[in-house]
Amino acid sequence: MEMKKESGLLILLVLISISAYAQTPASREWSYHFGYLGNHAVRPGGNFGLEYGLADKVKFKSKVKPGKGAINTVTAHQLILGLNAGAIWHPQTSTSLVNSLTLEYRKTTKRRMQIQAGIGGSYLRSFYINSYEVDQSGQVTKRFLGNSGYFGPTLFIGYGRYRKDSRSLQWWHIRLNASYFVGYNATILPYLTTELRLGFHKKSIT
């Protein structure tokens, strides 16, 4: 009888671990996302990105409390490589392309909430609506599609939720990015962008 109880508990723990693991994309797996991208919350744009799981780990904890039985907690930890391409429209001034390559740590809790933090590099290319150039004789002429590019480091934090079961939309994230572009930022204040990401990948195993 005691052995049956132990076997049943072992099966239950395995099922819980599998369920928690299904709440986050596995390593060696690609996913993609679309979403809103804005600069200082007033300049709108859009974003598309790819993610690749480099590594993941599932942690299982079980505590037995008198009168309540076993309380199980499962969390998942991931290391993710991200490639993002976005565009931001600056009314009456320019349109900017923002590309980044990032390394992200993501934690998924037992309630499928996801916390993210990461670092990477970004490239900003701005195309100006009105730009002018001065030639050697001092004559000023309008330049067609004047543009400039800047590189810099980027940091971000994010929060969201993973949706289990066989749904097309698998997760949503809200993310705040802070980039410092060399030659672009006139002060120590970073170039801030906010994102609302909607993620898709293969169907969940639960």
Q: pLDDT per residue over 123-154, tens digit each?
A: 999 998 877 777 777 777 777 778 889 999 99
**Contact indicator for 54, 27 with CB cutoff of 8 Å:** yes
Which residues have CB under 8 Å from 77's CB, separation 6+? 56, 57, 58, 59, 105, 106, 107, 108
| Interval 157-204: pLDDT, tens | 999 998 776 567 888 999 999 999 988 766 778 899 999 999 887 554
| Interval 68-100: pLDDT, tens | 667 777 788 999 999 999 999 987 888 999 999
Average model confidence (pLDDT) for the chain? 80
Q: Residue 49: what pLDDT?
A: 94
pTM value? 0.74
Residue 121 confidence (pLDDT) above 60: yes
Residue 11 confidence (pLDDT) above 60: no
